[in-house]
Amino acid sequence: MNRLDFILKKVKKREQLTEEEATDLYNGVQVLLTKRGGGKTSRIIKECKKNGGILITFSVQEAERIEHKYLMHPSDVVSCQNLERLQGIIHKDLYIDNADLVLERIFNKPIAMITLSRKNNETG
Protein backbone atom coordinates (compact mmCIF):
# COMPACT_ATOMS: atom_id res chain seq x y z
CA MET A 1 0.00 0.00 0.00
CA ASN A 2 1.50 3.37 -0.99
CA ARG A 3 1.51 6.40 1.33
CA LEU A 4 -1.47 8.13 -0.27
CA ASP A 5 -3.59 4.97 -0.04
CA PHE A 6 -2.62 4.66 3.63
CA ILE A 7 -3.65 8.27 4.30
CA LEU A 8 -6.94 7.90 2.40
CA LYS A 9 -7.73 4.75 4.40
CA LYS A 10 -7.32 6.79 7.60
CA VAL A 11 -9.60 9.50 6.19
CA LYS A 12 -12.32 6.95 5.37
CA LYS A 13 -12.12 5.61 8.94
CA ARG A 14 -12.35 9.22 10.19
CA GLU A 15 -9.03 8.80 12.01
CA GLN A 16 -7.11 11.97 12.75
CA LEU A 17 -4.20 12.61 10.40
CA THR A 18 -0.80 13.74 11.57
CA GLU A 19 0.30 17.17 10.36
CA GLU A 20 2.69 15.51 7.90
CA GLU A 21 -0.07 13.25 6.54
CA ALA A 22 -2.47 16.16 6.12
CA THR A 23 0.20 18.19 4.32
CA ASP A 24 0.93 15.23 2.01
CA LEU A 25 -2.75 14.72 1.32
CA TYR A 26 -3.46 18.35 0.49
CA ASN A 27 -0.23 18.97 -1.42
CA GLY A 28 1.34 21.59 0.81
CA VAL A 29 -1.75 23.43 2.01
CA GLN A 30 -1.97 22.62 5.69
CA VAL A 31 -5.50 21.57 6.56
CA LEU A 32 -6.44 20.92 10.17
CA LEU A 33 -9.31 18.47 10.52
CA THR A 34 -10.50 17.90 14.07
CA LYS A 35 -13.80 17.79 15.89
CA ARG A 36 -15.28 20.92 17.48
CA GLY A 37 -13.14 21.97 20.41
CA GLY A 38 -10.10 20.13 19.04
CA GLY A 39 -7.80 23.18 19.13
CA LYS A 40 -7.91 24.19 15.44
CA THR A 41 -8.37 27.90 16.11
CA SER A 42 -5.65 28.05 18.75
CA ARG A 43 -3.24 26.24 16.47
CA ILE A 44 -3.92 28.37 13.39
CA ILE A 45 -3.54 31.54 15.48
CA LYS A 46 -0.20 30.34 16.84
CA GLU A 47 1.06 29.63 13.30
CA CYS A 48 -0.33 32.90 11.96
CA LYS A 49 1.36 34.97 14.68
CA LYS A 50 4.63 33.04 14.37
CA ASN A 51 4.78 33.63 10.61
CA GLY A 52 3.44 37.20 10.56
CA GLY A 53 0.33 36.30 8.59
CA ILE A 54 -3.25 37.52 8.45
CA LEU A 55 -6.08 35.49 9.95
CA ILE A 56 -9.42 35.41 8.11
CA THR A 57 -12.48 34.64 10.28
CA PHE A 58 -16.13 33.86 9.52
CA SER A 59 -17.56 36.87 11.40
CA VAL A 60 -16.75 40.32 12.71
CA GLN A 61 -17.52 39.13 16.25
CA GLU A 62 -15.11 36.19 15.92
CA ALA A 63 -12.39 38.52 14.61
CA GLU A 64 -12.88 40.83 17.60
CA ARG A 65 -12.92 37.90 20.04
CA ILE A 66 -9.66 36.51 18.64
CA GLU A 67 -8.05 39.95 18.50
CA HIS A 68 -8.68 40.50 22.22
CA LYS A 69 -8.20 36.97 23.53
CA TYR A 70 -4.97 36.31 21.62
CA LEU A 71 -3.65 39.89 21.66
CA MET A 72 -3.46 40.21 17.90
CA HIS A 73 -3.14 43.51 16.06
CA PRO A 74 -6.46 44.53 14.44
CA SER A 75 -4.86 44.60 10.97
CA ASP A 76 -3.83 40.94 11.41
CA VAL A 77 -7.38 39.64 11.99
CA VAL A 78 -9.95 40.21 9.24
CA SER A 79 -13.50 38.90 8.98
CA CYS A 80 -14.75 37.65 5.63
CA GLN A 81 -17.22 40.56 5.67
CA ASN A 82 -14.27 43.00 5.62
CA LEU A 83 -11.98 41.46 3.02
CA GLU A 84 -11.42 44.86 1.40
CA ARG A 85 -9.11 45.56 4.36
CA LEU A 86 -6.62 43.17 2.73
CA GLN A 87 -5.89 45.53 -0.16
CA GLY A 88 -2.27 46.59 0.00
CA ILE A 89 -1.21 43.95 2.55
CA ILE A 90 -1.91 40.80 0.59
CA HIS A 91 1.84 40.04 0.50
CA LYS A 92 1.42 38.36 3.90
CA ASP A 93 0.42 34.70 4.13
CA LEU A 94 -3.29 34.11 4.76
CA TYR A 95 -4.61 31.75 7.43
CA ILE A 96 -8.31 30.93 7.15
CA ASP A 97 -10.01 29.73 10.31
CA ASN A 98 -13.14 27.64 9.73
CA ALA A 99 -12.84 27.90 5.95
CA ASP A 100 -16.19 26.18 5.46
CA LEU A 101 -17.95 28.89 7.47
CA VAL A 102 -16.01 31.63 5.68
CA LEU A 103 -17.13 30.32 2.28
CA GLU A 104 -20.72 29.93 3.45
CA ARG A 105 -20.74 33.56 4.66
CA ILE A 106 -19.25 34.82 1.40
CA PHE A 107 -21.77 32.94 -0.77
CA ASN A 108 -24.65 33.00 1.73
CA LYS A 109 -25.41 29.31 1.25
CA PRO A 110 -24.08 25.92 2.33
CA ILE A 111 -21.03 24.61 0.48
CA ALA A 112 -21.54 21.16 -1.06
CA MET A 113 -17.90 20.39 -1.91
CA ILE A 114 -14.51 22.06 -2.13
CA THR A 115 -11.20 21.11 -3.71
CA LEU A 116 -7.72 22.23 -2.79
CA SER A 117 -4.95 22.95 -5.26
CA ARG A 118 -1.22 22.55 -4.90
CA LYS A 119 0.64 25.33 -3.16
CA ASN A 120 2.28 27.76 -5.62
CA ASN A 121 0.57 25.95 -8.52
CA GLU A 122 3.07 23.05 -8.46
CA THR A 123 2.36 20.18 -10.81
CA GLY A 124 3.05 16.48 -10.71
> Is residue 57 domain-shared with residue 15, that is, in the same domain?
no
Which pLDDT band, with edges at 50, 70 and 90, does 64 fall under? very high
> Is residue 81 domain-shared with residue 97, that is, in the same domain?
yes
> Is residue 26 domain-shared with residue 38, that is, in the same domain?
no
Top-confidence residue, 121 or 32: 32
The tens digit of pLDDT for each residue in 81-119 reads 888 877 776 678 889 898 888 888 888 888 887 776 655
CA-nearest of 55, 45, 117 to 86 is 55
Enclosing domain of residue 64: 34-112
Q: Does residue 121 lie within any of the structural domains? A: no
Give me the number of domains the chain comprises: 2
Pure H helices in the chain: 3-12, 19-25, 40-51, 60-69, 99-107
What pLDDT sits at residue 70? 94
Which pLDDT band, with edges at 50, 70 and 90, does 38 fall under? confident
